Amino acid sequence: MDKSFSKSLAQFDRQFFTGREKFTLIGRGGLGGKAHGLAAMEDILEQQLGGRFAPDIQVVIPTLTVITTDFFDFFMKDNRLYDIALSEARDDLIAQAFQKAELPAPLVGDLRALISQVHTPLAVRSSSMLEDAMFEPFASVYATKMIPNNQWDADTRFRKLTEAVKYVYASTFFKDARNYMRATKHTTADEKMAVIIQEVVGVRYGDRFYPHISGVARSHNFYPLGHAKPGQGVVDLALGLGKSIVDDGIGWTFSPAYPQANPPYISIRDLLEQSQTSFWAINMGSPGEYNPIQETEYMLKFNLTDAERDGSLRFIASTYRPEDDKIVFGMAEPGPRIIDFAPLLKLELIPFNKMLRALLKICEERLERMVEIEFAMTLDEKRGKPGRFGFLQVRPMVVSDAKVDVSLAELVGEHVLVASESVLGNGILDDIQDIVYVKPEKFSPNQTQTIAGQLEELNQKLAASHVPYLLIGFGRWGSTDPLGGIPVNFGQICGAKAIVESTLPEMNFMLSQGSHFFHNITSFRVLYFSVPHWEKYMIDWPWLGRQRAVAETELVRHVKLPAPLKIKVDGTTSRGVIYHA
Amino acid sequence: MSNKPFNSFDLAQSQFDRMADRLGLDDPARELLRWPMRETQFLIPIRTDDGPVKIFRGFRVLHNDARGPGKGGIRFHPQETIDTIRALAMWMTWKCALMDIPLGGSHGGVVCDPHNLSLREQEQLCRGWVRQLSRDLGPRIDVPAPEIMTNAQHMLWMLDEFEAIRGERTPGFITGKPVGMGGSLGRLEAAGFGLVFVLREALKELGIPPEETTASVQGFGNVGQYAIRLFQQMGGKVVCVACWDQKEGTSYSYKKESGVDFNSLAGITDRFGGIDKKKAAALGYDVLPGSAWLEQDVDILIPAAIENQITIDNVKKIPPKVKIVAEGANGPMTSEAETVMAGRNIFLIPDILANAGGVTCSYFEQVQSSMNYYWEKDEVLGKLDVKMTAAFHSVLELAKEKGLSMRDAAFYIAIARVAQACRDRGWI
Q: For the domain that residue B99 is a member of, what is the CATH number?
A: 3.40.50.10860
The pLDDT > 90 percentage for chain A reads 44
CATH assignment of A3-200, given 3.30.1120.10, 3.30.1490.20, 1.20.120.50, 3.40.50.150? 3.30.1490.20
| Whether A109 and B377 lie within 8 Å, measured CB to CB | no
Q: Which of B209, B233, B385 sits opposite A108 (nearest CB)?
A: B385
Q: Left, alpha or beta for A94 (phi > 0: left; psi -120 to 50: alpha)?
A: alpha
Domain closes at, from B121, B149, B181: B181
Best CA proximity match to B235, nearest among A362, A111, A104: A104
CATH of the domain at B334: 3.40.50.720
Indicate if B385 and B274 belong to the same structural domain. yes
Best CA proximity match to A458, nearest among A480, A473, A443: A473
Buried/exposed code over A457-482 (b: 16+ C-beta within 10 A; e: otherwise): ebbbebbeeeebbbbbbbbbbbbbeb
Domain closes at, from B143, B158, B181: B181
Indicate if B122 and B83 belong to the same structural domain. yes
How close does chain A come to B196, measured CA to CA in Å?
A: 9
Indicate if B104 and B136 belong to the same structural domain. yes
Residue scoring higher pLDDT (A221 or A518): A221
* DSSP per residue, A180-211: HHHTSS--GGG--EEEEEEEPP-EEETTEEE-
Does the structure show a pLDDT above 70 at A224?
A: no
Best CA proximity match to A459, nearest among A469, A451, A450: A469
Q: Does residue B10 sit within a domain? A: no
How close does chain B come to A506, measured CA to CA in Å?
A: 56
The residue-averaged pLDDT of A101-114 equals 93
| Whether B381 and A105 lie within 8 Å, measured CB to CB | yes
Q: Which of B230, B377, B379 sits opposite A106 (nearest CB)?
A: B230
How confident is the model at residue B42, as a pLDDT?
97
How confident is the model at residue A3, as a pLDDT?
41
Helix axes A105-117, B222-233, angle to 10 degrees: 80
Helix axes A105-117, B187-206, angle to 10 degrees: 80
How confident is the model at residue A494, as a pLDDT?
86
Q: What is the dihedral of CA B334, B336, B341, B344, to 10 degrees?
A: 180
Which residues in chain A (478-537) have CB-CB distances under 8 A to chain B? none
Does the structure show a pLDDT above 60 at A6?
A: no
The residue-averaged pLDDT of A289-301 equals 85
Residue scoring higher pLDDT (A303 or A267): A303
Residue scoring higher pLDDT (A547 or B306): A547
How confident is the model at residue A492, as a pLDDT?
87
Residue scoring higher pLDDT (A516 or A245): A245
How close does chain B come to A347, measured CA to CA in Å?
A: 51
Does the structure show a pLDDT above 60 at A137?
A: no
How far lies A163's CA from each of A78, A126, A154, A159, A526, in Å? 17, 14, 14, 6, 36
| Whether A103 and B378 lie within 8 Å, measured CB to CB | yes
Pairing relation of β-strands B53-64 and B105-111?
antiparallel
How confident is the model at residue B393, as a pLDDT?
93
- Using the Cβ of A151 and the Cβ atoms of chain B, whether some distance falls under 8 Å is answered with no
Residues of B with Cβ-Cβ distance to A159 under 8 angstroms = 376, 378-379
pLDDT confidence bin for A401, thresholds 50/70/90: low
| Whether A106 and B378 lie within 8 Å, measured CB to CB | no
Q: Which of A14, A104, A158 sits opposite B233 (nearest CB)?
A: A104
How far lies B340's CA from each of A180, A400, A548, B317, B422, in Å? 63, 71, 90, 11, 35
Which residues are bridge partners to A388 per DSSP? A58, A378
How confident is the model at residue B248, as a pLDDT?
85
| Whether B233 and A105 lie within 8 Å, measured CB to CB | yes
Is residue A220 within 8 Å of A229, Cβ to Cβ?
A: no
Does the structure show a pLDDT above 50 at A513?
A: no
Which residue in chain B is spatially nearest to A74 when comparing CA positions?
Answer: B233
Q: Which of B200, B209, B381 sits opposite A108 (nearest CB)?
A: B381
- Using the Cβ of A102 and the Cβ atoms of chain B, whether some distance falls under 8 Å is answered with yes
Which residue in chain B is spatially nearest to A12 when comparing CA positions?
Answer: B204
- Candidates A75, A78, A112, partner chain B, best to mutate (most B CBs within 10 A): A112
Give the number of A-B residue pairs with CB atoms closer than 8 Å: 58
Residue scoring higher pLDDT (B282 or A481): B282
- Candidates B185, B197, B385, B392, partner chain A, best to mutate (most A CBs within 10 A): B385
Best CA proximity match to A235, nearest among A210, A221, A249, A217: A217
| Whether A109 and B211 lie within 8 Å, measured CB to CB | no
| Whether B235 and A106 lie within 8 Å, measured CB to CB | no
Backbone angles phi, psi at A396, to 5 degrees: -70, 150
Indicate if B158 and B281 belong to the same structural domain. no
Q: Left, alpha or beta for B138 (phi > 0: left; psi -120 to 50: alpha)?
A: left
Q: Does residue B21 sit within a domain? A: no
The residue-averaged pLDDT of A198-206 equals 95
The residue-averaged pLDDT of A162-185 equals 85
Best CA proximity match to A189, nearest among A292, A337, A72: A72
Indicate if B119 and B234 belong to the same structural domain. no
How confident is the model at residue A132, as a pLDDT?
59
Residues of A with Cβ-Cβ distance to B376 under 8 angstroms = 102, 159, 162
Residues of B with CB under 8 A from a CB of A: 189, 193, 196-197, 200, 209, 211, 230, 233-235, 375-379, 381-386, 388-389
Pairing relation of β-strands A575-579 and A556-570?
antiparallel
Does the structure show a pLDDT above 80 at A144?
A: yes
Which residue in chain A is spatially nearest to B263 when comparing CA positions?
Answer: A78
Does the structure show a pLDDT above 80 at A479?
A: no
Residue scoring higher pLDDT (A478 or A213): A213
How confident is the model at residue B360, as a pLDDT?
96
| Whether B189 and A105 lie within 8 Å, measured CB to CB | yes
Separation between Cα atoms, residue B211 and residue A29, nearest integer Å: 12
Q: Which of A28, A109, A159 sits opposite B197 (nearest CB)?
A: A109
| Whether A106 and B200 lie within 8 Å, measured CB to CB | yes
Separation between Cα atoms, residue A366 and residue A369, nearest integer Å: 8
Indicate if B154 and B198 belong to the same structural domain. no
Q: Does residue B361 sit within a domain? A: yes
How many independent structural domains does chain B possess?
2
The residue-averaged pLDDT of A509-515 equals 53
Does the structure show a pLDDT above 60 at A38?
A: yes
- Candidates B386, B392, B393, partner chain A, best to mutate (most A CBs within 10 A): B386
Indicate if B177 and B250 belong to the same structural domain. no
| Whether B389 and A109 lie within 8 Å, measured CB to CB | yes
Which residues are bridge partners to A30 per DSSP? none
Residues of A with Cβ-Cβ distance to B225 under 8 angstroms = none
pLDDT confidence bin for A121, thresholds 50/70/90: very high
- Candidates A12, A26, A108, partner chain B, best to mutate (most B CBs within 10 A): A108
| Whether A111 and B382 lie within 8 Å, measured CB to CB | yes
pLDDT confidence bin for A226, thresholds 50/70/90: low
* Residue A262: strand, helix, or coil: coil
Indicate if B162 and B197 belong to the same structural domain. no
Fold observed for domain A203-282+301-350+359-399: D-amino Acid Aminotransferase; Chain A, domain 1 (3.30.470)
Q: Does residue B18 sit within a domain? A: no
Residues of B with Cβ-Cβ distance to A28 under 8 angstroms = 209, 211, 235
Indicate if B252 and B397 belong to the same structural domain. yes
Residue scoring higher pLDDT (A367 or B285): B285
Indicate if B166 and B291 belong to the same structural domain. no
Domain closes at, from B181, B208, B231: B181
Spans in chain B with pLDDT lower than 70: 1-4
How close does chain B come to A102, measured CA to CA in Å?
A: 6
Containing structural domain, residue B103: 38-181
How confident is the model at residue B395, as a pLDDT?
97
Residues of B with Cβ-Cβ distance to A14 under 8 angstroms = 389
Question: What ipTM was assigned to the predicted interfaces of this complex?
Answer: 0.73
- Using the Cβ of A99 and the Cβ atoms of chain B, whether some distance falls under 8 Å is answered with no
Across chain A, which distance is largest between two alpha carbons, in Å? 72
Residues of A with Cβ-Cβ distance to B385 under 8 angstroms = 105-106, 108-110, 112-113
How confident is the model at residue A56, as a pLDDT?
85
The pLDDT > 70 percentage for chain A reads 91
